[in-house]
Structure 1
C-alpha cells in the first residue's frame, strides 16, 4: 500500500531531517512538505545533519504550496491531532485503527502532521477520515514532531506486517529425550556415591528429587553433555577429598 507522510507548515529544519530518518528506519520514503518555513529546507545543513544518513528520503521529497498538491494518489487521510475536533473525524489510537486500515483496499494512505507551533488546523483535520492520537501521560502530551512521526510510522509498519528481527529467529534448542536424561541421572548417581554424597544403603529421596528437578529444567542435549562432564569430574580420584 502506498504510504505518504505530509508535514504541513514545518518551521524547524532539523525536524524535517529527523522525520526523514524516522521514516527510513521504518521503510518509508514518500515525504511531502506543504509550505514549509524555508523553501530550501530539504538541503539545509541542519536538515541533512538530523537526517543522519536518510539523505535519499530528502532527495525524493517534494515541497508543495498547498495540501491539495500533496494528495495525488491518496485515498485515505489520517490526521495526527491530540485534541478531538467538533464535527471532525473519529479520534482513535494508531494501534486500534491501523490494522484494519492496512487490511483495506485503499490505494494510498497519507499521514498528516501539523506545524510545531500550532499543530493541525481544523480545516485540515476536517478533510481526514480519522484523527490519530498517541496515548501519553496525563497532563503532558507534548511530542516532538519527529518523535510523533516515528511512533505513527512504527505502528503503521507493524500493521503492515513489520520486519523480521535482525539476524532472524534463533533455532529452537533440541531437548534431550527421556532416555538421555535417565542415562545422565544414572551417571550422576554413580558420581555422587563416589564422592560420598549419596549413601547407596540409605539413598532416601535424593535421586527422585533430582529427577524432578532436571525434568522441570527441560534439559537440552548440550546441557546433558555438560552435566555428564560434571559427573565425570566428580568421579575422578581425589574428587571426594577436594570436597
Structure 2
C-alpha cells in the first residue's frame, strides 16, 4: 500500500530532516513538501543533520507548489489537527482509525501535516476523510512536527503488522551435548584438584551439574569460558602442590 507523508508550508528545515528520519525507522520513504519556506530545504545543512542517516528519504522527496500535486495516487487523506473544524471530517485517535483502515486498506494513504506556525488550514482539513488527533495531556497538546510524524508513523506501521523486535546481539549457537560433556569432565578434574570434589565419595555433584547445564543451555563460547576456568584451576592446584 502506498503511504505518503505530506508536509504543508513547513517553516523549519530541521523538522524536514527529523520527519525523514522518523519515517525511515518505520519503513516509509514517500515524503512530499508543499510550498516549504525554503525552496532548497532538502539540501540545507540543518535538514541533512537532523535526517541522521535518512538521506535516501530526502533524496527521494519531492517539493511541489500545491497540495493537489502532492495527492496523485492517494485515495484516503488523514489530516493532523488538534482542533476539530466545523463541517470538517470526523476527529479520531490514530490507533482507533488505523485499525479500521488496515482492515480494508485503500490504494494510497496520505498523512498531512500543517505549518509549525499556524497548523493546517481549514480548506486543507476539509479535503480529508479524517482528522487524526494524537491523545496528549489535557492543557498541553503541542507536539513538534517531527515528533508527530514519528508517532503516526509508528502507529500506522503497527496497524500494518509492525516489525519484529531486533535482538541486541546476534544469537549464538548452543553447545552440543558432546561439548558440554567434555566441559563437565574438565570441570570435574579441576574440582578434584582443588579438593572440592572427593572422587571416593562424589555423591551427586556431577549429575546435578549436568542437569544445571542442561537447563542453562550454554553456548559454545560459554563452554570455552568454563573450560578456561577449569584449566586455570588445574594450573593453580598444580603450582600449589609443586
Which TM-score bucket, shorter chain as reference? Answer: 0.7 to 0.9
2:17–2:58 contact (8 Å) kept in structure 1? no
Q: What is the Cα-based RMSD across aligned positions, in Å?
A: 3.9
The alpha carbon displacement at 1:75 in A equals: 0.1
- Partner residue, 2:170: 170
Q: Which has the higher mean CA deviation after the structures are superposed, 131-140 or 145-154?
A: 131-140
What 5-or-longer segments of structure 1 have no aligned partner?
none
The alpha carbon displacement at 1:189 in A equals: 2.0
Q: Assess, with a 3 A threshold, how the Cα gap between structure 1 residues 83 and 28 changes in structure 2: closer, same or farther.
A: same
Alpha-carbon separation, structure 2, partners of 1:233 and 1:83:
70
Q: Give the SS at the match of 1:77.
A: strand
Q: Which has the higher mean CA deviation after the structures are superposed, 23-32 or 153-162?
A: 153-162
TM-score computed with the length of structure 2 as normaliser: 0.72
What 5-or-longer segments of structure 2 have no aligned partner?
none
- Partner residue, 2:64: 63
Q: Give the SS at the match of 1:143.
A: coil
Q: Give the SS at the match of 1:228.
A: helix
Count of residues in correspondence between the two structures: 234
- Partner residue, 1:127: 127
Task: After superposition, give the CA deviation of every residue in 1:14-33 in whole Å (9 maximum; x if it has no partner).
Answer: 43454345445644143031
- Partner residue, 1:190: 189
46, 51, 61: which is aligned to 2:47? Answer: 51
Alpha-carbon separation, structure 1, partners of 2:111 and 2:17:
17
2:10–2:33 contact (8 Å) kept in structure 1? no
Q: Assess, with a 3 A threshold, how the Cα gap between structure 1 residues 144 and 181 changes in structure 2: closer, same or farther.
A: same
Q: Give the SS at the match of 2:39.
A: helix
Task: After superposition, give the CA deviation of every residue in 1:119-173 in whole Å (9 maximum; x if it has no partner).
Answer: 2345533432333333445553321112212333344455556678999983542
TM-score computed with the length of structure 1 as normaliser: 0.72
Q: Which has the higher mean CA deviation after the structures are superposed, 200-209 or 222-231?
A: 200-209
Superposed, 1:156-235 pairs within 5 Å as: 156-157=156-157, 159=159, 170=170, 172-177=172-177, 179-235=178-234
Q: Assess, with a 3 A threshold, how the Cα gap between structure 1 residues 112 and 73 changes in structure 2: closer, same or farther.
A: same
2:5–2:111 contact (8 Å) kept in structure 1? yes
2:6–2:113 contact (8 Å) kept in structure 1? yes
The alpha carbon displacement at 1:241 in A equals: 2.4
